[in-house]
Amino acid sequence: MSCYYTGLARSDLKPPVASRSRRIKRCRCKCYGHPKTVMVMAVVAAAALRSSSTRLSRLLPGVCGEAWGHQARRGAVLRVLPFIPTQDPDVIKKMPEDFRAVYPEFLPGPKPEYRNRLREKLERQDMLARRSVMPIPEFYVGSIMAVTVADPNASGKNNRFVGICIQRGDAGLRAWFILRNVVDHQGVEIKYEMYSPLLQSIEVLRLEKRLDDELLYLRDALPIYSTFPLDMEPEVMQEGAPVPVNPIKVQLKPRPWHERWERKNLQGVMDLGLPERFYKKAKLHEKPWEKYDLMKEYRATIPEEEQADIFREISPHYPLMESTRRRGKRKRVLPSIS
C-alpha cells in the first residue's frame, strides 16, 4: 500500500474499505507530504551514502529517519533504539560543563517522531556557517538584548529593537527568542529567529539570568518591570565572572491574568496575594509523582553520550565560537584607571 501524498510504499497502511472512514491514510513517516521535498531529501541521502552499497529504493522509505538505525517500528509503534555514537569515542574531547547552557540550540529537540539525524547534522553545519558570518552572543532568559533586522521599509533599511528576553525555544536553525519592551506605554514582544539571514546583529546589553526559565509573567506584571530604554548602552561585565542571577521579585497587576500564575510555582514574583481558594485549587492540580517519573524526564532530554557526540562533531569550530564569546564579553569591560 502506498501513501496517497508521497507515493512511498508503506506496509502499515491499509487499503481503503467501503466500511472504513473515507479519510485518506497519510504516510506517517512525517515526510512533509510533498513529493518534491521527498525527492530532494532522497537525492541528498543518496549523495551522502554514495560510497555504501545501500540501494536508493531501500533508502527512500527511511529518508525520514528510520533507515539510520536510530528508530524502529514494532507494528505501528515507534521504538527508539539505544544510542550509537557517530564520532570516534577514542578521541578524547571532554564536553565543557556549560556547553548545553551556552549553545542550547545545538542540541536537537527530544521528540523521536520529529528527529532526523541527517537533517540535524546538516543544520549544525549551517548554524556554524551562519555564526561565522554573524556572531550570536551568549544570552539567557532575563538578559537585555538589542537586535537589528534588515527591513526594506525602514529608514536606513535596518530596524533596531531593545528588549528583555522572556523566552527562548526550539532547536537547530529554527531556534528563536522573544524580546519584550514597553514602548509609549504599549507592551511589545518580538520573536526573532536566531539564524534568520534577515538578522544583522544581536548584542547583549546586560547579560544576566533570572530565577525562572520563562518570564511570560511579565505580561501580567507592572509595566516598569518590562521597560528598558531603547538607547540603552551595553553594561560592564567582569571578565571571567559567572553569569549573575538577578533575584528580583516582580509585582503582578491585579487579576485577570494570562495564565494561572499561582499554579506555575514561579520564583521570580512577589507574593500573589490571592484568596485561599486559589491555592487550594492549585494544590489539587499538583502532580507530586512527576518528579519520580524517570522515563518522562528521560524522554524530554538528550542523553549525555549524545550531547558529547554532538560536541565532538562541532569541536573543530568550538575554539572560534569560544573566542567570539569571550571577545563579546571583553568589549564591555571598562578600561582600568591607572
Interacting residues with another protein (CB under 8 A): 71-72, 77-83, 100-101, 104, 107-114, 169-171, 287, 289-290, 292-307
State the cell numbers at 73: 517500528
User: Smallest distance, Å, CB 167 to another protein?
Assistant: 8
Q: Which is nearer to another protein, 203 or 208 (CB)?
A: 208
The 3-state DSSP class for residue 160 equals strand
Q: Which is nearer to another protein, 48 or 101 (CB)?
A: 101
Q: Which is nearer to another protein, 153 or 292 (CB)?
A: 292
Q: Which is nearer to another protein, 113 or 126 (CB)?
A: 113
User: Smallest distance, Å, CB 25 to another protein?
Assistant: 20
Q: Which is nearer to another protein, 47 or 76 (CB)?
A: 76
User: Smallest distance, Å, CB 208 to another protein?
Assistant: 18
Q: How far apart are CA 277 and CA 275, in angstroms?
A: 6
Q: Which is nearer to another protein, 110 or 135 (CB)?
A: 110
User: Smallest distance, Å, CB 281 to another protein?
Assistant: 18
Q: How far apart are CA 309 and CA 73, in angstroms?
A: 25
Q: How far apart are CA 208 and CA 206, in angstroms?
A: 6
Virtual torsion, Cα 261, 265, 268, 273, nearest 10 deg: 50
Q: Where are the beta strands (DSSP E) in 27-114?
A: 71-74, 77-80
User: Smallest distance, Å, CB 85 to another protein?
Assistant: 10
| Closest CA relative to residue 250, chosen from 217, 283, 205 | 217
| Closest CA relative to residue 207, chosen from 116, 119, 101 | 101
User: Smallest distance, Å, CB 83 to another protein?
Assistant: 4
CA distances (Å), 193 to each of 116, 128, 175, 197, 312, in order? 21, 15, 6, 9, 26
CA distances (Å), 4 to each of 9, 21, 23, 34, 166, in order? 10, 15, 11, 10, 42
Q: CB within 8 A of 200, min separation 6: which ones?
A: 134, 148, 149, 150, 158
Whether the upstream peptide bond of residue 256 has omega within 30° of 0, thus cis, is yes
User: Smallest distance, Å, CB 298 to another protein?
Assistant: 6
Q: Which is nearer to another protein, 80 or 245 (CB)?
A: 80
Q: Which is nearer to another protein, 41 or 302 (CB)?
A: 302
Place of cell 568589549: 331
User: Smallest distance, Å, CB 311 to another protein?
Assistant: 12
Q: Where are the beta strands (DSSP E) in the chain?
A: 71-74, 77-80, 144-150, 158-169, 176-183, 186-193, 199-206, 209-210, 245-246
